[in-house]
Amino acid sequence: MKKEARALLLKLLRSAGVFAAWRQLHRDDIVILMLHGTADPKRPSLWTPLRPQFSPEYIDRCLEVIGRHYRFVSFDAAVAILKGKIPPVEHGIAVTLDDGYRSNIVDALPVFRKHGVPATIFLTVTNVETRTPFWFDRLDYALQASGPGDGSFEIGGVPFRFSGDGRDGLAASYADFRGLIKREYVHEKEFCRKVEEVITHFERRSGRRLSDIFEDDPWSALLDWGEIVGCQGDDVRFGSHTLDHHRVGHLRRGDDLRRQLIGSKEAIEEKTGVPCRYIAYPDGDCSERAVKVAREAGYEAGVTTEEGINRVGCDLMTLRRIALPWTTDETELLARVSGLSDALSRRFPRKPSKGAAA
């Protein structure tokens, strides 16, 4: 369905009362919002990522709209409701953030507190402890520092070249690369080796690395343990995003899987002194074996990136989330957050876009 036609349909559905009926039908269900980077673009910075991040002003506007229709609850409360341990609240919504960026606390937390929004942040332990940026941020920075040049790569046997057609072209090919490499490398260690090869190429070409400016960078810097312990409380909780941001469903060896899930849980508990009860699977990727290990490790719930809302009695280890959308339209925002947009997409699927791989 074309964007313009979809927007018109949503407005007609809202005016006809379908939005209200949908929300009433799902009033006892739990919505879990997903965010990642939340940096303030007005902060001084040496670069601007190709991968966009939510500004505090945008989050503020969204939460104001959502708060008129939903009741913000903690992730603890959301899990308890879905377990059936406490009664449902009408139109409950919880907020989660993946990766553990410092901007989540510096820039987003004041906005959350303004709207009475409890937040659960999922930490990638090795990156926090070694003070190293994520691979996708490293690549973003390295690409911009060096320019795409003549960098051509074989990605799983598929030729790929980054676009030199301005910032928009580079951003599009950067997104295509991330999608392609995840599809082509089903084994995580091979994926990591290829990612490092590509990043190293551009870092050597420019002589610049994101790690050199990481701690003072508003976009990519991660929380440290002191900041994590200092801000945890009733309105800020922390969970695991594994040790190394590995796609746990793609790990071949059981020992590697247990290390990512159990090792991260133990490290967070040791550093914070608080039980680590929840896991967010990187890229939303999990498998039956990963879920089994997560349960055995003592996690009480796990979140994926599969879009949708959650009903009482659902599988707590594979909870669905809804990514906070990029939109200036209130109707589209509410349609996405409510799960109605996802239901329409299943009914009227969009044609998949073509990648830029050559």
Query: Could you tell me the pTM of the whole model?
Result: 0.94
Q: Is the dihedral of CA 196, 202, 205, 207 positive or negative?
A: negative
Same domain, 125 and 165: no
Name the residue among 139, 241, 215, 235 with its Cα closest to residue 182: 139
What is the tally of helices (H) and strands (E) in the chain? 16, 10
- pLDDT at position 1, please? 56
Q: Find the angle CA(172)-CA(144)-CA(173) to the nearest 5 degrees.
A: 15
Same domain, 32 and 95: yes
Tokens in use for 174? 């950067």
Q: Long-range contacts made by residues 17-26, C-beta under 8 angstroms, separation at least 24?
A: 18/340, 19/331, 19/334, 19/335, 19/338, 19/340, 22/338, 22/339, 22/340, 22/343, 23/69, 23/91, 23/338, 26/309, 26/338, 26/339
Say if 292 falls within a structural domain.
yes
- Which of 214, 244, 272 represents a domain boundary (last residue)? 214
Same domain, 205 and 241: no
Say if 103 falls within a structural domain.
yes
Say if 357 falls within a structural domain.
no
Same domain, 170 and 267: no
Same domain, 124 and 245: yes
Say if 307 falls within a structural domain.
yes
Say if 355 falls within a structural domain.
no
Tell me the CATH number at 294.
Answer: 3.20.20.370
Instruction: Give the pLDDT confidence of 125-159 residue by residue, as tens digits.
Output: 999 999 999 999 999 999 999 988 777 899 988 89
Say if 236 falls within a structural domain.
yes
Same domain, 249 and 173: no
Spell out the residues 6+ positions from residue 355 whose beta carbon is closer than 8 angstroms to its own.
176, 179, 180
- Cα separation, 83 vs 170, in Å, equals 45
What residue ranges of the chain have pLDDT lower than 70? 1, 348-358
Say if 352 falls within a structural domain.
no
Instruction: Give the pLDDT confidence of 238-282 residue by residue, as tens digits.
Output: 999 999 999 999 988 889 999 999 999 999 999 999 999 999 999
The identity of residue 212, as a single letter, is D
Q: Give the count of domains, the chain.
A: 2
Say if 356 falls within a structural domain.
no
- pLDDT at position 349, please? 62
Same domain, 8 and 99: yes
- Which of 163, 181, 214 represents a domain boundary (last residue)? 214
Same domain, 52 and 127: yes
- Which of 148, 179, 214 represents a domain boundary (last residue)? 214
| 8-state DSSP, 238 | E
Residue 260 sits in which domain range? 3-131+220-347
Same domain, 142 and 113: no
Same domain, 10 and 117: yes
What one-character-per-residue DSSP string does 53-111 give? Answer: ---HHHHHHHHHHHHTT-EE--HHHHHHHHHTSS---TTEEEEEEEE-BTHIIIIIHHH
Q: For 81, left (φ over 0), alpha (ψ -120 to 50), or beta?
A: alpha
Neighbours of 7 (CB within 10 A): 16
Classify strands 92-99 and 71-72 as parallel, antiparallel or unpaired. Answer: parallel
- Cα separation, 47 vs 206, in Å, equals 14
Same domain, 113 and 139: no
Same domain, 266 and 295: yes
Contact 140, 46 (CB under 8 A): no
